[in-house]
């Protein structure tokens, strides 16, 4: 069994023993009874962002609704999309929207970190659009953003800027501003190796362009810079034992000192949580259940 440490602040999400020993939440391991009138369903769609169409999938929860919604953001380039987590959240009563940023995985436009920030904003605007709310039976104003790796950075940035979000979850968040100047010193060969999964998945960007963009925003794109903005949010921070662990734990300590409603889970696994998928889902589902007026299931 992998070692898992949980630290909670101001409210208890789940004790360390609960993750390590207790059975996972029902939403992680069991299908709910089928609702014949309002079954769970999947809706493929496209979301416009600055003139380009982003490919997206909406995992819609069973029941008449309305339901709260999670915007689930993947990393760079998005080989691990955490769709098992999307399914668990849907079983727990949360609609879950996933998408591919401009210039990635067949979405229109060109890829850049700045575009990813804009795209995440556009996804939130889509979820707040009255037509979207009516069409998919969403609960107005009840949006959680959860992101992995680069998606965690995006969730932190949007969470720091948007006080109306219900909660913000960071999963092995990439500390873009911190790492940019360090990676700018890499040799060309080391940089190519670090971003060797971009070709064929991302259009209009390279490891060199991404790192140059990150280095140019060293101060305003660091996780530390988001601390004061996130202190007003309900925040979940999940760290893996990778290069970003220190930044995530430091942000958790910062939020704790600020008196924020933050929970931190540290899981001994790799960056994509390859051998800890059930542990990851359990942490997220239990945290979602602590949010105000969360669905009863899960």
Q: What are the structural domain ranges in the chain?
A: 7-269+283-290
| Confidence grade of residue 171 (pLDDT, cut at 50, 70, 90) | very high
Contact present, 255 and 159 (Cβ < 8 Å): no
The Cα–Cα gap between 253 and 247 comes to 10
pLDDT digits (tens, 9 = 90+) for 136-162: 999 999 999 999 999 999 999 999 999
Average pLDDT, the chain: 93
How far apart are alpha carbons 113 and 180 in whole angstroms? 12
> Which pTM does this prediction carry?
0.93
**pLDDT digits 0-9 by tens, 201-242:** 999 999 999 999 999 999 999 999 999 999 999 999 999 999
Distance (Å, whole) CA 13 – CA 2:
19
Q: In CATH, which superfamily holds the domain spanning 7-269+283-290?
A: Alpha/Beta hydrolase fold, catalytic domain (3.40.50.1820)
Quote the tokens at residue 94.
């949360």
pLDDT of residue 297: 65
Alpha carbon distance 141, 291 (integer Å): 13
Residue pLDDT, tens place only, 7-50: 443 333 333 333 445 789 999 999 999 999 999 999 999 999 99
Rounded average pLDDT over 244-264 = 97
Sequence-ordered list of residues with C-beta below 8 angstroms from that of 9, at least 6 positions apart, any chain: 252, 255, 256, 260, 261, 262, 263, 264
């Amino acid at each position: 069994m992998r070692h898992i440490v949980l630290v909670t602040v101001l409210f208890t999400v789940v004790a360390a023993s609960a993750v390590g020993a207790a059975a996972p939440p029902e939403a992680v391991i069991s299908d709910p009874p089928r609702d014949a009138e309002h079954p769970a369903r999947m809706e493929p769609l496209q979301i416009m962002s600055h003139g380009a169409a982003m490919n997206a999938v909406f995992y819609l929860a069973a029941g008449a609704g309305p339901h709260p919604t999670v915007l689930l953001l993947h990393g760079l380039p998005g080989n691990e999309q955490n769709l098992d987590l999307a399914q668990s959240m849907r079983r727990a009563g949360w609609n879950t929207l996933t998408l591919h940023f401009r210039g990635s995985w067949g979405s229109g436009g060109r890829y850049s970190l700045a575009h990813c920030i804009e795209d995440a904003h556009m996804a939130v605007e889509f979820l707040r659009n009255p037509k979207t709310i009516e069409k998919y039976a969403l609960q107005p104003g009840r949006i959680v953003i959860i992101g992995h790796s680069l998606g965690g950075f995006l969730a932190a940035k949007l969470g720091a800027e948007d006080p109306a979000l219900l909660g913000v979850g960071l999963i092995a968040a990439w500390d873009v501003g911190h790492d940019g100047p360090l990676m700018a010193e890499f040799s060309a060969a080391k940089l190519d190796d670090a971003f060797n999964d971009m070709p064929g998945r991302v259009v209009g960007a390279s490891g060199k362009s991404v790192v140059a963009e990150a280095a140019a925003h060293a101060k305003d794109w660091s996780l530390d810079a988001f601390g004061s903005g996130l202190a007003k949010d309900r925040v979940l921070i999940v760290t893996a034992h990778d290069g970003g662990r220190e930044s995530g734990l430091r942000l958790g300590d910062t939020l704790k000192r600020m008196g924020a409603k933050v929970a931190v889970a540290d899981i001994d696994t790799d960056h994509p949580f390859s051998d800890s998928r059930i542990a990851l889902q359990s942490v997220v589902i239990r945290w979602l259940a602590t949010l105000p007026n969360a669905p009863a299931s899960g």
